[in-house]
Structure formats: structure tokens, C-alpha cells
Structure 1
Amino acid sequence: MPSEQRDVSVLHASKKPVHVAFGVDAGYYRGMGVAITSVVENNPGLDFVFHVFAFSITADNQKKLEKLKEQYGVAVQLHLLDTAALDEFRQFPCFSKHSLGTFIRLLIPTTLKGIADQVLYLDADLLCFGDLSDLLAIDLGDCIAAAVADEKDTTVNTQIPALGLKHGHYFNAGVMYIDVRNWVAADIQQVALKALSTLDMRFADQDALNIALDGRVRYVETKWNYRYHLVDYLTRGETKLNVSQPYVFMHFTGPVKPWHTWCLHDIRDLFTEIQSRSPWAESPLDGPRTARELKLFSKFLITQHRIAEGVYWHCRYLRSRLKQKLKSS
């Protein structure tokens, strides 16, 4: 970790920076901050510009972004999006089904036109454990993005036919290395926004991107977006990180994140270790809040033979469900 602040303007003048973008809403700033920390610590030879896209930000998180710039000597640019960018899509039937945060990922590359030729888009629920040089060296040619294929049978058998994908592949959009000029030339933003607003989709903006980029994706090795679905491991009572294949980005898909107190897995300790070196070091982990989270927590505890605790949290879940029913009646 750098011990002193570097002059970012001098660095940018001397070599081409690597542009990395995140799209976040209120609950993901901490995850993003720790993800950025992991990227910088594992790539000391690269000069980064981090772009943070959001519709809103608290004063506290804004201060932490400033501290992140000072601590690591990197550029961090906040892009507060105007909801007016979505006005023409509000009339469509499926628009109201999505939160504003769902649309952020679709707006990023066009916003960076003239700022970056390529941008590495990352979800905020991942960690970096290696060198990015090989990914950044990929020549995209006429492709618009590089991504990792989702080869699960459930995805291949459902999403490809459901979305009418002609090229037989479906990708996870949590890590995308994007050619901005090719994206803009193909009008991907408009195509994806229209698809998201007019079609009923299982995976929302990810499905929309698969439609818009069909046939224009360069598929790369799984190590660039290794999905680690924590709920599956915890449901089986597995708490140790045991991966047999190499990975650079580990992506924590699903409802359980490493910053949850109820993530009863070793990855939580690894996450908090990295968090301790970030501006979010003093931020407490998030406890279970929704009925679904309470139910999952009780399930994980019972699976690990912590029966009394599991029963307690299951009672909390039942009470939460009762309150919901009373409120809706």
C-alpha cells in the first residue's frame, strides 16, 4: 500500500490510465470501496481512474471517496446521474418494475465518451486477487465488450431461448471490459434501455445487455469473473473458501454478501481484513434486515448446528412476516 500521496496529474500525463467504473446505490458504497482497495493493492504498477456512477450519495460516503483518493493516490470521479436521462422510457410498461439503480450500468459507457476509449466495468460485490494486465491487453477489435460466459445449465436452457439470443451464449455482466467507441457506435445504451423497459426479464439489466450485445462479445476465461454464490455454500454448511481453479475477480453473486454479519463464511473475515485498510474501516457489518435475510440467517445457523441461535433468528423471521401481513391487511 502506498505510504504517501502521489501527484495524480503527473501520473496521468506520463502513462495511459486504466479507467474502471462502478454503478452503485446506497447499500453498495462500502462494497465498492473495498473492491477498489483490492484492485489497487493487487496492481501497484497501474495508474487508475475510478468512476463512480450513482443517482445519489451521502455526505459520509463522499468524504470516504475523497479519503480513498488521498490514501492511494488514485483519481476517483463521482458521476451523479440525472434521472431525466430515463424520461423517454418511463412510458413503457416494464419501466416501473425496476429501481433506478437497475439502469445505472446501462448509462456508464456513453457517459464516458470522450473521456475513456476503454472502461473496465465492475460490480461492487467482488474482490480482486490478482494482476489485471492480461485482461486490459485484450484487443476487442469489432467486439463491444469482453466478458465471462455463464455456462450453468439453468441459464443456458432458459435465458438464451427466452431472450432469443442468436449466437448461443449468455454472459454475466458483473465484469465487462468495454470498448466505449464501439458501444456508442452501436447505440447500445438505447437498445438496452428499450429492452429493459419493454420486456419482462428475469435478470433485468443483465438480460438487456445480453440482447443488445448479442454476437459482439469476446468471451474470456472464468478467472476474470469467478462467481461465488455464498448462499449455496452456506446452505450446505460449508464455511471454508475452497476453490480449485485460478481466479482474479471473485464475484459474490446472490443475496449473501461478505459485509453481512450473517455471512457465516471465512470470506467475511477476508473481506473485513481488506476493509480495515480502506476508508470504510470503521463501518460495522450489516445485520439481517428483511424477512428473507432473517430466514436465511436462521437456516445457516441450524445447518452449522447452532440450534438455539437458529431458533431465535427463525422467531425473528416469523415476527417480521407477521408484521408485514398486518401492515398489508
Structure 2
Amino acid sequence: MTIRGRQVPLSSQKDSLPPCNQNPVHVAFGVDAGYYRGMGVTITSIVENNPGMCFVFHVFAFSITPDIRQKLQQLQERHSITVQLHLLDTEVLQEFKQFPCFGQHSLGTFIRLLIPDNLNGITDKVLYLDADLLCFGNLSELLAIDISDHIAAAVADEKDTTVRTQIPALGLKHGHYFNAGVMYINIQNWIAAGIQESALKSLTTQNLRFADQDALNIALDGHVKYIDERWNYRYHLVDYLSKGETKLDVPQAFVLMHFTGPVKPWHTWCLHDIKQLFTDIQSRSPWAEIPLDGPKTTRELKLFSKFLILQNRILEGVYWHCRYLGSRLRQNLR
């Protein structure tokens, strides 16, 4: 089973981009409404740190607004890159909605499972990236990794909790579990092994803690080339902010920094130095004038009040804690 999307031009006029003098690098994202800004800033950081490299960015989504479409067009023209929009019909996953994993997550979560099959015939390899990361270096070494005998290259998650829980829970025979936010994929090997079908089957037959990431670990067990952590350096902001820490603390050199967890650099309530780094890059993107996102959910209000109090901003913390209590009360009364 192949679930296909349709390529949609960003504008009605034919793009007049300079031809590549080399084989283009194909990079793919799967996004929903809340992640277009993050993706745009990610792309900006990639292009700025890889001058002279020819990129084709594939954007997979279920919907897009005219404003976002225009911003992607501006991104393309500003950096002389190619941005290809692939719109998926929400009906393609309709038959899976009855299963618990699909009911607990937005459909955008599962887009990355569909990307390689949709790029068949367009490219042999694709670098899949989550939209909540930043690039701070050159990607040439990553793209030179030989994956001819593998389905994908990825970074292992070596946290003790992951090793203790996910590997035995999923029955992984090769002793590793990877984070699926960065995957360099051999498309033909992926298709030949039926990874999309295998992952979807796991999602419909098992109750998976980390949904599509767990499903991919099951499907790709024994077929992943594990690479250095600098290609997917996870920075869980809530861990640092929960200890009152605001300075960027990185013990090693990295190229791709991945902001896992509920706190993102585009949140006003991210009281961490990384927010300034993010907004600096955003200022050079088509999203330059877009304000950062404030706390909306009960959980976000609670975290914001906690972070403020930990940084001795007591009055502000108490104010936002009251906002949290009010939100929680309204939620309970529904």
C-alpha cells in the first residue's frame, strides 16, 4: 500500500531558479499548522550554514494557508533553493483513526512514515528532519555517509530510561533505539523492505508509547546505521528550565540541535538563551515579523508559571499560576 500526496506549485508562475551545478540534496519535512514557522527557520539555518550547496526542500502537509504558501515562495526566492509542496489528503489515514495511537496524536505526527514512498522516482536518498531543530554547521559529512547497505542512518537514543524501557518493550533484537527526528534514508531500500506498511501495521496492532517513532524502530530494527550524536543533538528544554537553568549547556560540538519536548524556542515562555538564537535566525526569514507563541494550554500555563518562579520572578509566576488555575477550572467545568 502506497499512500500518495500531490505536488502543488507554490505560485502560478514558473519558478526561475538557477540550475544546480551538482546533484541536489533532498531534505524533507512533515508539518502541521503549528510547525511551519519552526520549519522555515530550520531551512534558513541550513542554507546559511551550507553555502554553495544545492537544496530541494520537500514540505509534506495536510493543509496550508495562502500566507504560509507565500512565505515558502519568499524562502525559495531569497535563497535560490527549491521548495516542493506535497499536500496529503487527510482521508489517506482515515481507515487508521479507529486505532488508539491515531486517536492520541494529530495526523501530522504520522506524515514522516509516508515521505519515502512519495519521493520514489524523485530522489534515491532523502534527509528527513523534524521541524523543531536548528542547523549550526555543514552537512557534507552526514550526506557522505554510505547507506547503500542500510535503510537509514540515525542517532541512537542512549538514555538509561530508553534502554531500560523501549528496547525490551518493543522487542528490539539489535539493542539500539533511535530518535526519528533526523533520518538519512535510502529510499529504494526503504520501499523494498516495506517499511511504510510495516510501521502502519505496528501502529494498528500495538499500543506504542512513542507512536510512529516506536513503529519505525520496530520496522527498521537491524537496518539502521548508527551515527554520531552531533547529527541529532537532543536538547530537552523543559529539563533545563525545570532546574532554573537558562544558559545553553552543550558538552560537545554538534551540527543539528533538536528541541525535543513541549518547550520550543519559538515560545514566549521559553525562558532560555536559545530563544534569542532562534529569533535571530527567524529575523532573517520570511517569518521575521511573526510574534512568538504565548502559552495556550493548561499544561503550558503551568510550565510557564513554574519557570518564572524558579528564576525568582515570583509575582509574574504567581500571576501565570492563577491563569493556569483558571484554565484548569474551566476545563473541569466542561
Q: Same fold (TM over 0.5)?
A: yes
Report if aligned partners of 2:18, 2:80 keep a CA contact under 8 Å in 1: no
SS in 1 for 2:127: strand
Equivalent residue for 1:219, pick from 222, 226, 230:
226
Equivalent residue for 1:8, pick from 13, 17, 20:
17
Cα distance between partner residues in 2 of 1:9 and 1:202: 45
Distance verdict in 2 for CA 1:90–1:230, change over 3 Å: closer
Equivalent residue for 1:169, pick from 176, 197, 201:
176
Cα-to-partner distance string for 1:246-296 (whole Å, 9 max, x where unaligned): 100000000000000000000000000000000000110000000000000
Cα-to-partner distance string for 1:275-326 (whole Å, 9 max, x where unaligned): 0000000110000000000000000000000000000000000000000000
Q: Which residue of 2 is the match for residue 31 of structure 1?
A: 38
Written as runs of structure 1 = structure 2, the 5 A alignment for 1:278-289 is 278-289=285-296
Cα distance between partner residues in 2 of 1:260 and 1:47: 31
Q: Which residue of 2 is the match for residue 109 of structure 1?
A: 116
1:193 Cα deviation after fit: 1.1
**Alignment-mate amino acid for residue 149 of structure 1:** A
Cα-to-partner distance string for 1:195-233 (whole Å, 9 max, x where unaligned): 112211111110010001000000000000000000011
Equivalent residue for 1:22, pick from 29, 47, 54:
29
Query: Cα RMSD (Å) of the superposition?
Result: 1.3
Report if aligned partners of 1:147, 1:172 keep a CA contact under 8 Å in 2: yes
**Alignment-mate amino acid for residue 311 of structure 2:** Q
Report if aligned partners of 2:101, 2:211 keep a CA contact under 8 Å in 1: no
Cα-to-partner distance string for 1:115-144 (whole Å, 9 max, x where unaligned): 010000000000000000000001112210
Cα distance between partner residues in 2 of 1:288 and 1:207: 29
Cα distance between partner residues in 2 of 1:316 and 1:247: 38
Cα distance between partner residues in 1 of 2:92 and 2:191: 15
Superposition TM-score, scaled by structure 1 size: 0.95
Equivalent residue for 1:232, pick from 235, 239, 242:
239
1:83 Cα deviation after fit: 2.7
Report if aligned partners of 1:95, 1:198 keep a CA contact under 8 Å in 2: no
**Alignment-mate amino acid for residue 210 of structure 2:** F
Cα distance between partner residues in 1 of 2:231 and 2:183: 9
Q: Which residue of 2 is the match for residue 3 of structure 1?
A: none
1:94 Cα deviation after fit: 4.2
Structure 2 residue ranges without an equivalent (≥5)? 1-14
Written as runs of structure 1 = structure 2, the 5 A alignment for 1:103-182 is 103-182=110-189
Distance verdict in 2 for CA 1:91–1:257, change over 3 Å: closer
SS in 2 for 1:283: coil
**Alignment-mate amino acid for residue 314 of structure 1:** H
Cα-to-partner distance string for 1:63-93 (whole Å, 9 max, x where unaligned): 1001101111100000001234324534545
Report if aligned partners of 1:145, 1:179 keep a CA contact under 8 Å in 2: yes
Equivalent residue for 2:73, pick from 53, 66, 89:
66
Report if aligned partners of 1:31, 1:124 keep a CA contact under 8 Å in 2: yes
**Alignment-mate amino acid for residue 74 of structure 2:** K
**Alignment-mate amino acid for residue 311 of structure 1:** V
Cα distance between partner residues in 2 of 1:97 and 1:295: 21
Runs of 4+ in structure 1 over 6 Å off: none
